[in-house]
Structure 1
Amino acid sequence: MELCVNSTKPLNLNQKPHLFAPKATIPLSLKNPILQFNYKIQKRPLYYPLKQLSSFSRQIQFLKPPLSLIKASAASSAAFGVETDKLPADIKVTEIQEPNSRVRLSVEVPAAVGQDCYRRVLKEFMKQVKIPGFRPGKIPESVLLNYVGKENVQKATVESILKRTLPHAMSSVTGRALRDSVRIITKFSDMEKTYSALSSLSYDVIVDVAPEVKWIPENGYKNLKIVVEIDNDIEAERACEQEIRRRHKSLGSLRIVTDRGLQVGDLAVLDISATTIDQDESNVQKIPAAESKGFHFDTEDGDKVLPGFLDSIIGIQRGQTMSFPLVFPESWQQENLRGVQAQFTVECKELFYRDLPELNDSIADKLLPGCTDLKQVKESLLQKCQEVEQVARDQATDNAILDQLRKMVEIDIPQSLFEEQGRQLYGAKLLEIQANVKLNEQQLASLSSPKAVNEYLENQRENIINLIQQNLAVGDIFKRENLQFSSEELVKEVQNSIAEFKRHKQKFDEDRVKEQVQDVLEGAKVIEWLKERADIQYITR
């Protein structure tokens, strides 16, 4: 009986290395999460290097710059549809600082302004209303009020007061207010009552403002000391050997072992379960994450599973069951299992050994099409692995720098900024899901629901805040150090991004694309500037 299996996917030599490419996928034999030893998900930085910019064009529409500032007059005009006009009397505005970079504006509108708005509203109604027996514009006030309704006139007057006074009230936060964060929090019914009794009006407005970036220590970013951890799996020589081994294994067949137990090099199909260990049997609990049926375990990947697991099952034969204790290390990725003593039970369902062709020049073309001998295979793969190693090293360096910047700043992040950044990230996540999985309308509606979005914001709160801190820190450095990029760079990358949108037949806003590209270019310049001045040390883990 033979079972031909491709142990892993071959390295794609035609694909260009991507600076933010995810970590290599885990082989089939390591799909059981409980056995994976401390794999960490790599987080992509908020800013991308210039040379990689074009490949991110499709994501630009979801990564709107979180610090788009607006002028107060523009904010109020957008909200109420009018420009600032002159008032018959000054309004009084009291500014109160609140947490999360929020400002409360308490606005007091004098009776003179209210009366002027009332007259304007009456005049407008007179133009629009047609009452038999009266010419337009010549309708007595009492008749008009009876016809239109006093309450309707009062509502319209309050709306007019808000429309005319809000731009003036917002003048104190001009240039600081964040887009779409202005909100009147006083109930409309309360404003109606106040106006009805006094002809004056008061209301409160809250608005998020651009947060201050406080560096600790001041200018500490100018002399960063960075320690970058590099996974030894990406070391070019080691990665090349592993890739050749994977390709060699894919050329062989699996044959059933009949006369011995498991040894290194075999592949076993296992049923695995585990429980906690406790002297009081009533406290013993199952560990659901450890349960796995038909788990394909490649013994050559023994260094990537729970320490001691491979050694404990060496010698197990087909149909045999073994039970043994293991302790989850304190470095285990799942926090709730760190230090837990567990009793594992493993049943060997199938046991195979590999029947491989001899590794020599005769299979060179099968290992890598176009190669005539093993030396050529190794040289080609090594070159590719060296490129991947450099990409991974650059990525790790960027991540380490951004993480260090985040730790050096204190920022009071506005709620509107948090929600905006989070929703953009969720939008990008949805796009990624749609690209990989065909969703029906019901599934898409469920994933797009307010409940799903809010759950994402809450679950990813820490990550979202970290990204915002990195973003603001980088933007602050760009301004502080007067960094610049050429207009030619901007034009070129905008054109590349638009071309990507068109190629994928996606809608886009050219101004939005330009804004996003500018943000990315700024980030790339800052990272480049910091690298030139930082003390960077690389260590292998």
Structure 2
Amino acid sequence: MELCTQTFTSFLLPNSFISSNKILLLANANTSVFKFNSLKLFAPHDHLFQPFISRYNSFSSPFTVSAASSSSSVAVGTEQDRLPAELKVTETEQLNSTVKLHVEVPPLVCEDCYKRVIAEFMKQAKVPGFRPGKKVPEEILIGYVGRQNVQKATIESILRRTLSHAMTSVTGRALQDSVRIVTKFSEMEETYSSLGSLRYDVIVDVAPEIKWIPDNNAYKNLKIDGDKVLPGFLDSIIGIHRGESKSFPLVFPENWKQENLRGVHAQFNVECKELFYRDLPELDDSIADKLLPGCSTVEQVKDLLLQRCLEVEQTAREQATDNAILDQISKMVEVDIPQSLFEEQGRQLYGANLLEIQAKMKLNEQQLASLSSPKAVNQYLEHQKENITNLIKQNLAVGDIYRRENLQFATEDLVKEVENSVAEFKRQNQEYDEERVKDQVQEILEGAKVLEWLREHVEIQYITR
């Protein structure tokens, strides 16, 4: 398996990045950022279907009052808002860690929502011939507001009140921002009109389960090694002269990355087209300061250069090790990735790439808008599907190891890194959400702790060339 030096960088961006062009970025763009434990789960108080409701607020009315506003006054949590009757919810498992909930709302609940909507319209309506606050007969009020408008408002009120109750069976598993009501509003209107009850289907992505191959202890037996160059190749061409050709046989090792080449006997023919030489000045203490400012002797230059090279080599080796570990564990897990999770991760990566392009090329507003378009993003998601999928598998696997091994990091480390990140945001005059920054830093520290644990428990073989 190849130890590569590529850095896996995942910048954590707000979900609204594509539409708002506002990018929330951790302070140091040169730091590897891992997103391991950030599956945000549904909470009963989340108003998850607000976009669904807003599509039906355009109906006309003699006065300004929307169904969303009328129903929001009763949009309280499950614990506070007890329904007058039980819902019937049927759960069906779907592909890609998705669950379908078929919700049947009994007439008693629908009637209660209807009364609340009428009461809300009664408060806001200014019906000619009736003083403000004066009770308006229901039929007169409905005639003024419009029976269809009252019905739409009632259906939306029912959805607001019942969704969190319907989601009880997937609480703790449902991914935030993945809940969508898929039943057409016209179908709900028809059911409500004819039966006085309501039925609707909800699709929700749930936290995917991770299956380790061959068992849950697979990551504890992880072994990695690597080499980028076929062993013996460099040794075979050392000393070759310009115009000279060499032919030599080599055998690809059994652990070679490309499976179809493992154990293959190959004959290489190499021709040296050109050799380059450097005309260097005489190496003495007189040029020491020019080589490295502050040095007075060549020996000092050699010592400092050696130290720097060792530091670079160590850093590269550690990064290559981390990348090799992450690559290997992604191959050891099976995960049904929800579409919402895939799109979120893909948009974050796309946002990071776009930010890098913008920093290098200074894109104008038109160019930025074009690159931020849904078409551009979807093309990226399609072309990078394999890479995005592998990164998600890495993140989930690492998060699972963090929990299994009961790993922890020091609280003071979290506080310090959050302070540093916030200070960097302020220095660059960037907007930030301190709670979000804290979550991101925590994810990074958890990921670093897992990699540290794996390096201590993984059998690693370094190949020196």
Q: What TM-score do the two structures reach when normalised by structure 1?
A: 0.66
What is the Cα deviation at residue 40 of structure 1?
7.3
2:415 alignment counterpart: 491
In the alignment, does 2:369 pair up with 1:372? Answer: no
What is the Cα deviation at residue 367 of structure 1?
2.3
Secondary structure of the residue aligned to 2:90 is: strand
Of 152, 168, 182, the match for 1:185: 182
Aligned pairs (5 A) from 1:81-92: 81=72, 82-83=75-76, 84=78, 85-92=81-88
In 1, Cα distance between equivalents of 2:160 and 2:282: 83
What is the Cα deviation at residue 230 of structure 1?
6.7
What is the Cα deviation at residue 313 of structure 1?
8.5
In 2 relative to 1, CA 411–490 (structure 1 residues): closer, same or farther, beyond 3 Å?
Answer: same
From the CA coordinates, give the structure whose radius of gyration is larger.
1
2:63 alignment counterpart: none
What is the Cα deviation at residue 395 of structure 1?
0.7
Q: What is the identity, as a one-letter code, of the residue corresponding to 1:218?
A: N
Aligned pairs (5 A) from 1:103-502: 103-135=99-131, 136=133, 138-216=135-213, 217-229=215-227, 314=243, 356-502=280-426
Secondary structure of the residue aligned to 1:75 is: coil
In 2 relative to 1, CA 130–493 (structure 1 residues): closer, same or farther, beyond 3 Å?
Answer: same
Of 32, 51, 68, the match for 2:39: 68
Secondary structure of the residue aligned to 2:83 is: coil
CA contact (8 A) 1:71 1:175 kept: yes
In 2, Cα distance between equivalents of 1:472 and 1:201: 38
What is the Cα deviation at residue 66 of structure 1?
6.7
CA contact (8 A) 1:114 1:200 kept: yes
Per-residue CA deviation, residues 107-128 of structure 1 (Å, 9 max, x unaligned), is: 0111111122122222222222
In 2 relative to 1, CA 130–160 (structure 1 residues): closer, same or farther, beyond 3 Å?
Answer: same
1:296 alignment counterpart: none
Per-residue CA deviation, residues 417-460 of structure 1 (Å, 9 max, x unaligned), is: 11111111111222222222211111111121111111111111
In 2 relative to 1, CA 507–460 (structure 1 residues): closer, same or farther, beyond 3 Å?
Answer: same
1:44 alignment counterpart: 8
In 2 relative to 1, CA 148–404 (structure 1 residues): closer, same or farther, beyond 3 Å?
Answer: same
What is the Cα deviation at residue 389 of structure 1?
0.6
Q: What is the identity, as a one-letter code, of the residue corresponding to 2:415?
A: V
CA contact (8 A) 1:106 1:202 kept: yes
User: Per residue, is there more strand in 1 or in 2?
Assistant: 1
Q: What is the identity, as a one-letter code, of the residue corresponding to 2:428?
A: H
Secondary structure of the residue aligned to 1:74 is: coil
Secondary structure of the residue aligned to 1:57 is: coil
Q: How many residues align?
A: 397
In the alignment, does 2:57 pair up with 1:57? Answer: no
Per-residue CA deviation, residues 56-85 of structure 1 (Å, 9 max, x unaligned), is: 52459x977673333441334784852231
Aligned pairs (5 A) from 1:90-109: 90-109=86-105
Q: What stretches of structure 2 of length at least 5 have no aligned partner?
A: 12-24, 51-67, 245-251, 259-273
Secondary structure of the residue aligned to 1:73 is: coil
What is the Cα deviation at residue 139 of structure 1?
2.0
User: What is the aligned-residue RMSD (CA, Å)?
Assistant: 3.5
Q: What TM-score do the two structures reach when normalised by structure 2?
A: 0.77
In 2 relative to 1, CA 395–440 (structure 1 residues): closer, same or farther, beyond 3 Å?
Answer: same
In 1, Cα distance between equivalents of 2:296 and 2:374: 58
2:450 alignment counterpart: 526
Aligned pairs (5 A) from 1:18-37: none
Secondary structure of the residue aligned to 1:468 is: helix
Q: What stretches of structure 1 of length at least 5 have no aligned partner?
A: 1-37, 48-54, 233-302, 316-329, 334-347
In 2, Cα distance between equivalents of 1:529 and 1:488: 20
CA contact (8 A) 2:34 2:443 kept: no
In 1, Cα distance between equivalents of 2:278 and 2:187: 80
2:261 alignment counterpart: none
In 1, Cα distance between equivalents of 2:35 and 2:450: 19
Per-residue CA deviation, residues 165-187 of structure 1 (Å, 9 max, x unaligned), is: 11100111111111111110111
In 2, Cα distance between equivalents of 1:203 and 1:130: 34
